[in-house]
Amino acid sequence: MIWSCATNAACHPQTAPVVPSMKKVVMVAAPVHPIPPRHGAAVEWWIYQVSRRLTNFESHVLCVAADDHVTEEHRDGIRFHRIEVGRLYKRLFQKITRLDPWSYARRVARRIDKIRPDIVHVHNAPDLFTEIRRLSAWKSARYILHMQNEMRVHELRADELLIADSEYLKSWYASRLPGAAVRVVTNGVDLSLYEPVWTMGPDARHLRATYHLPPDKKVILYVGRISPEKGPLDLILAFRELLKRRQDIFLLLVGEVRTGAASDRRVEYGRKIQQACAEPSSGCRHIGVINPADMHKIYPVSDLVVVPSRFEEPFGMVAIEAMAAGVPVLAASKGGLREFVIPDQTGFLIENTENHDLFAHQMDKLLNQPEALDKIRRQARRYVEQHHGWDTVARQTEEQYHRLLAH
């Protein structure tokens, strides 16, 4: 109770105004990587970057635990709840049977029951989404399934929302879930971290020494999984054709090579990449995985970033990061890449990366046009500033939350 004393009137009590409590959102990740992630994990990085920027919602993150992360923590404006998952369990369910991790879902559901959120936002795990919704006793939450890949979704209720990260992916899900609410929230980059290369001065060249790159050559960069659908072997073969035309070039590949049985298609593919780079006259190098927090340091070493995907990319995060760093992008004309790599405006597209001679010709042509590349790199940076900063993505996310709760 508070007291109000008006002029020429007796003091009288008034009821204090009620301040509404902030609504809660729980973001749920599959039991693969901890958050913040330690290496390439685009979904977990999205969760971390957006959760810390929400202004109208109390952020909770549920993810798998790791040795160097405490299980309960309030950090960066986020309440982390990390769930212990044993190595044997992870191996059995994630690597061998590929079944949905029921016990992880049950423990997530129990945390949700304690937190009692307004929104449960599950990322890239349709089966986990279904199980959490079934197991949780807290029935007042509204549910969002957020997809960054093409996966089978069994059903979506009328009061639920599916978020896709591109118009391409939105169309893919809308065609398979008629009547479902499907909307787009894009991916983002830290614009303060991804400094455009023309503002870095000598620092950009110093970074080349960090990665032991030749200072006098044009560097072509590949970043991504070392797997067939991503097309790095096509890039290497095209690069070999390019070496027949010019010697002032070097190819750098960044990405994880899967280890395991030789019968695994991706393992065998990775070995081919490593063998190709190990040849003395290859002119290329593979340096493995880079921590997401350090990714901004790799793009400025390059003159051209190539995204040679063979499949329909749901989005194309590497292209956005390169554009943010002010590095020209040559990307396959696939999926979501076509939405922001706009020919002769923000980047360049190639229709067929499997035609290695044509692929080499296009790289050669671009490297011979420094003035055109400079114009494109600046337009690309402006595009990312306008559409893909993490603050913009967080604002888009909150708009979807408000819209969902209003219905």
DSSP-derived 3-state class of residue 45: helix
Q: Are 150 and 295 part of one and the same domain?
A: no
- Contacts of residue 128, Cβ cutoff 8 Å, sequence gap at least 6: 28, 30, 100, 101, 104, 105, 108, 122
Least confident of 105-114, 263-272, 349-358: 263-272
Does any domain span residue 350? yes
Q: Sign of torsion, CA 116 120 125 126?
A: positive
Q: Are 177 and 283 part of one and the same domain?
A: no
Contact 255, 317 (CB under 8 A): no
Per-residue confidence at 131, pLDDT binned at 50, 70, 90? Answer: very high
Q: Mind listing the pLDDT tens digit for each residue in 319-330?
A: 999 999 999 999
pLDDT for 106: 93
pLDDT for 16: 47
Strands 12-14 and 218-223, bridge-based pairing? unpaired
The first and second tokens of residue 165, run together, are: 């990260």
Q: Are 247 and 363 part of one and the same domain?
A: yes
Check pLDDT > 90 for residue 51.
Answer: yes
Rounded to whole angstroms, the Cα distance separating 334 from 229 reads: 11
Check pLDDT > 60 for residue 102.
Answer: no
pLDDT for 67: 84
Rounded mean pLDDT of 118-140?
A: 96
Does any domain span residue 9? no
Q: Are 276 and 340 part of one and the same domain?
A: yes
Q: Are 310 and 213 part of one and the same domain?
A: yes
Alpha carbon 244 to its chain's center: 36
Check pLDDT > 80 for residue 12.
Answer: no
Q: H-type helices in 224-345, by residue range?
A: 232-243, 265-278, 317-324
Does any domain span residue 315? yes
Q: Are 68 and 181 part of one and the same domain?
A: yes
Number of separate domains in the chain: 2
pLDDT for 30: 95
Rounded mean pLDDT of 169-198?
A: 95
- Contacts of residue 374, Cβ cutoff 8 Å, sequence gap at least 6: none
Domain that holds residue 359: 197-387
Q: Are 184 and 238 part of one and the same domain?
A: no
Check pLDDT > 70 for residue 399.
Answer: yes
pLDDT for 25: 98
Q: Are 287 and 395 part of one and the same domain?
A: no
pLDDT for 92: 54
Per-residue confidence at 202, pLDDT binned at 50, 70, 90? Answer: confident
Check pLDDT > 50 for residue 22.
Answer: yes
Does any domain span residue 4? no
Does any domain span residue 14? no
Does any domain span residue 57? yes
Q: H-type helices in 136-264, by residue range?
A: 167-176, 202-210, 232-243
Distinct helix (H) and strand (E) counts, the chain: 12, 16
Q: Are 383 and 401 part of one and the same domain?
A: no
Q: Are 153 and 253 part of one and the same domain?
A: no
Q: Are 28 and 98 part of one and the same domain?
A: yes
Per-residue confidence at 98, pLDDT binned at 50, 70, 90? Answer: low
Check pLDDT > 60 for residue 220.
Answer: yes
Provide the percentage of residues in the chain whose pLDDT is more than 90: 77
pLDDT for 291: 80
**Single-letter amino acid, residue 102:** W
Of residues 116 and 279, the one with the higher pLDDT is 116
Check pLDDT > 70 for residue 271.
Answer: yes
Rounded to whole angstroms, the Cα distance separating 25 from 143 reads: 10
Rounded mean pLDDT of 364-376?
A: 94
pLDDT for 23: 97
- Which among 210, 269, 207, 211 is positioned nearest to 236, based on CA atoms? 269
The first and second tokens of residue 121, run together, are: 């936002």
DSSP string, 289-324: ---GGGGGGTGGG-SEEEE--SS--S--HHHHHHHH
Check pLDDT > 70 for residue 17.
Answer: no
Strands 161-164 and 181-184, bridge-based pairing? parallel
Check pLDDT > 60 for residue 4.
Answer: no
Does any domain span residue 322? yes
Rounded to whole angstroms, the Cα distance separating 316 from 48 reads: 19
Rounded mean pLDDT of 378-402?
A: 97
Q: Mind listing the pLDDT tens digit for each residue in 221-243?
A: 999 999 999 999 999 999 999 99
Does any domain span residue 3? no
Least confident of 10-14, 131-135, 262-266, 385-389: 10-14
The CATH number linked to 40 is 3.40.50.2000
Least confident of 17-21, 64-68, 178-182, 360-364: 17-21
pLDDT for 11: 45
pTM: 0.86
Rounded mean pLDDT of 157-168?
A: 97
Contact 226, 375 (CB under 8 A): no
Rounded to whole angstroms, the Cα distance separating 240 from 284 reads: 10
Q: Are 81 and 133 part of one and the same domain?
A: yes
pLDDT for 18: 44
Residue 106: φ, ψ to 5°:
-65, -40
pLDDT for 7: 40
pLDDT for 90: 54
Rounded mean pLDDT of 34-54?
A: 90
